Structure 1
Amino acid sequence: MIGNDKLQRLIRGGRLATALALLFTLTGCWDRKEINDLAIVLATGVDAFPNGTVELSAQIFIPRAAGGGPQGNTGGSGGNSTGDTLVRKAQGRTIAEAMTRLQRRTSRHLFWGHSEVIVFGQEAAKGGIRSYLDFFLRYLQFREHAYVYVAKGMASSALDNQPLLERSSSEELREMGNLKLGMLVTLKKLTQMVEGDSQSAVLTVIEQVSQKQKNGTRQMTTSMKGLAILRKDKLVAIIQEPVTRGLLLIRNELETMTYSFSLAGLDGTASVNLLRARAHLSPVIAANGDWKLNLDVRTTGDLILNTTDMDNIAETFMSKARTAWAELLREDVESALERIQSKLKVDAFGFANHFRRRYPRQWAREKRDWPILFDKIKVNVVIQTKIARIGKSDLPQGIPEDEIRKK
């Protein structure tokens, strides 16, 4: 028989042998990358040149600047420090080659998983963005929900900017996108638009604007300057107001907007802040083969300005305000249809999607002729407006009460 002491020694020995065997089977974290070995990219820019080369720009976070360490120019080819970030860039025959060359110029491993903004330069957008989309969606580190913009001029210039209110231009662009001042388009949504039935896409355009500071220096700030219209994957036009307002309204993308208008028979103006806007598109294929669309627009807003001499709550005033606002909205819609449908002939509105869902069989037969059909579609526009609130005062300010008209 085995004694207790010997039995205990055997058990301990067996445990030790098992532990050693398990230890040799562990691979460890041999492929880990420490945070100190990473260059975290906050934003990505793509530019194209006439000789066919592609330039990839990366806005990189500077950890020592954010931690209170020394700031300033870090030196190195293609790198400029702008506060808590620097921009590095490299060129190649393809965007993949440019990324490889960019990595060779960086002492840390480039990590693209935090890139929340992608900016295409104007020339890159004109040449077509399909190859770039393929790369961004295929390379595992890039986020499908990164916001996408088109820059007037160079994308690298748009990234190489330190805003006053935000920590970086990438954060500034992300916050401006969340405000929905233009089209809020992610990388995934952009790909769906380009590959969709309409074969078009719409992106917000950004531009660098110089503003003079109190000390006499000039500070570059980012401003949203219209919308970029893409036929398939190529930029064909940049549109401005009022066409942009009409396009966003038809697409149900209009959220942040203030309208000012004159009222018939009254001196002065009124302004309404938009609360809600809903556009309902009803496609119709008539018996004679004509393709039509009924557009029903319903908007609600708050009265925020009245410089007339009429009481805010007077029914005459409210009726005039609703009518004037509706006419302004109609002008926006008609200007968008005139410019985009009649002149550019690009289905930036997404009409094709509505016909495909309503008439799937007819769409399957006619979709190849969609460019011809789209140009001939008649759009019947009906607009209803509602003013929900009139503000803190019933009366227009700055006018004696006995001179205010009640009707």
Structure 2
Amino acid sequence: MKIELLDATSASHSLVTLMKEYDEFYWAVAWAGVTDEGIELQKYAHKIKSVTFGLSFCHTDPSFVDNLQGVEGAYVITKSTGGTFHPKVYCFKSGDRAAAIVGSSNFTFGGLRKNSEASVYVEGAASSEFFQDLFDYTINSAKMGEGITKELARMYREKAEREAKKPHRQHDPMNEWKNQTPLEVGSMNWAEYVSRINKSKHHNIKKSLKLLRISQKWFSSEASFSDFSGEKRRAVAGTLPESQKKGSDLNRDWGWFGSMIGAGTFKNRINKNNKHLAKALDGIPNKGEISPNHYKDFVISFRKAFVGASRSGGVATASRLLAMKRPDVFVCICGPNIDEASALLGFKKQNLDLDTYWDEVIEVVRETAWYNADKPAGSEGKLWESRVAMLDAILYKES
């Protein structure tokens, strides 16, 4: 058995040589980039038997994934391993001969060029225990992944582009990727989103946006929700009766984005200016990033408002308040839109509650291309500022 130590450059040369000489490839590699070695791999794609690449932290180049679309035997990791998929195993076989490079070199420019790397080159009988273990390892690695379809490649590219903008990248960006793909909402780009909004049969878009801007104006002009007049509180809550719609700001349909007229206990808490509801909303910033912790704190205070009541507040009433304060982050999920929301955002209606709303709705929305689009100029910029709440124009189904 031949054994040799390789640095990054010699590992690159050896890989290219082995791809040319051997008939079958068995690899398990953490990350890959678009490199000369990658072009060689495409050239010999028909030799691939089981080649798997990791996607942790989106370190694998989306273009590399694109290039392996439809290649039989090529996989990317889509199931969380608990830790990071981090091997660098390149194994080759021809008849009873085998060779392998095992070490620190990823299939990237750094791993095969500029980095200080160390790998071991081994050559010997394919039937040896060492090579049999390597073959088994690469084949088992593939079981944690998926074959590379056009849809998977598209989804990964979108995720990678979004993750690149974040200070801390998601560890498993494709974990359960099929279940996280909204059937339609997630595939829309900004132009498609605008088109769908404008085709709404139930929302007057200009009036809807005006309503949201009025609500935000009130929040920016008062220190606390408790400082709102009773009429303004009821308007924000979706419980304002017709008799109190006096004045240009109040005289509009406040039932858009979730009418809560029938939520008696909630309406009572709004009328009595409940301090816990005020604290819940006050904890949501008027501008800037909203974190999961902001939402968790909101839920804690929101629930306190219903302690001792026969009926508690739920997703509908909570998300109504949130959407009125931050329509760029929250959407009201209630009776008229929950069926469509469930279908297009991919959650089960029976599982949606205050504890799951953030993960099942907001995190899914934050992964979409239209949500992450840059703010456009002109009138579309106003829509962009309320783009999450305005999902109701797409989701609403008249009963």
Q: Which has the higher contact order (CA 8 A, sep 6+)?
A: 2
When you count helix as a share of all residues, which structure comes out higher? 2
- Greater gyration radius: 1
When you count strand as a share of all residues, which structure comes out higher? 1
- TM-score, with structure 2 as normaliser: 0.28
